[in-house]
């Protein structure tokens, strides 16, 4: 599917909005744009540690937005999974606490935990949108920023503990 010039403008404005929303927040590291050649996934990846990132990925062909925490450290991924299990919460409840603290009323957002490309371990929450112009809506933009904040709240303490070890 080819995107129109208007689609490209909407996508770029959305991505810039997300980048600008966290640009002055020291809790997020540098942002890199990592896009697939076929434009099926357009990712903004914010460094948390040398082996961990927070990500907002737009999948314009579906259309869908995915907010995630990811790591290339298999052992950290397993430790996080075990810590969530030991807490008695499901992954949905664990991320939901972060979402609620970030100002979203979303107690049990869907959370997918998977390995992508043999390299990265993801904890991700999808957000469906009806069509690309929805990316211009304040409600969508604000929700994505709150979702990103929710992931930071949920997973940030483990990163601090990991850095101190």
Evaluate whether residue 112 is within a structural domain: yes
**Does the pLDDT at position 2 exceed 90?**
no
Evaluate whether residue 124 is within a structural domain: yes
Predicted TM-score (pTM) above 0.85 = yes
Distance CA 125, CA 155 (A): 13
* pLDDT at residue 3 in the model: 87
Evaluate whether residue 129 is within a structural domain: yes
Instruction: Give 48 or 117, the one with higher predicted confidence.
Output: 48
- Are residues 34 and 43 in contact, defined by beta-carbon separation less than 8 angstroms? yes
Evaluate whether residue 72 is within a structural domain: yes
Q: Which of 83, 22, 89, 105 is CA-nearest to residue 56?
A: 22
Distance CA 10, CA 31 (A): 19
Instruction: Give pLDDT tens digits for 66-77.
Output: 999 999 999 999
- Provide the domain count of the chain: 1
* pLDDT at residue 19 in the model: 98
* pLDDT at residue 1 in the model: 61
Across 100-125, average pLDDT: 95
**Does the pLDDT at position 162 exceed 60?**
no
**Mean pLDDT for the chain overall:** 93
Evaluate whether residue 71 is within a structural domain: yes
* pLDDT at residue 159 in the model: 83
Give residue 149's domain range. Answer: 5-160
* pLDDT at residue 164 in the model: 47
* Cα separation values, 117 from 98, 114, 121, 143, Å: 27, 10, 9, 28
**Does the pLDDT at position 31 exceed 60?**
yes
What percentage of residues in the chain have a pLDDT greater than 90?
89
What percentage of residues in the chain have a pLDDT greater than 70?
96
**Does the pLDDT at position 163 exceed 80?**
no
**Does the pLDDT at position 47 exceed 70?**
yes
Evaluate whether residue 49 is within a structural domain: yes
Evaluate whether residue 165 is within a structural domain: no
């Amino acid at each position: 599917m080819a995107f129109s010039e208007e689609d490209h403008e909407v996508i770029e404005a959305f991505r810039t909005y997300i980048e600008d929303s966290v640009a002055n927040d020291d809790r997020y590291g540098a942002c890199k744009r990592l896009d697939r050649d076929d434009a099926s996934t357009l990712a903004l990846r914010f460094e948390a540690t040398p082996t961990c990132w927070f990500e907002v990925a737009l999948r314009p062909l579906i259309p869908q937005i995915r907010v995630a925490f990811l790591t290339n450290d298999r052992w950290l991924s397993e430790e996080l999974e075990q810590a969530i299990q030991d807490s008695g919460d499901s992954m949905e409840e664990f991320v939901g606490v972060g979402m609620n603290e970030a100002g979203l009323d979303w107690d049990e957002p869907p959370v997918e935990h998977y390995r992508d490309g043999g390299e990265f371990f993801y904890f991700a929450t999808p957000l469906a949108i009806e069509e690309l112009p929805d990316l211009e809506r304040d409600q969508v933009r604000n929700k994505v920023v709150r979702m990103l904040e929710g992931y930071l709240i949920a997973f940030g303490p483990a990163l601090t503990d990991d850095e101190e070890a």
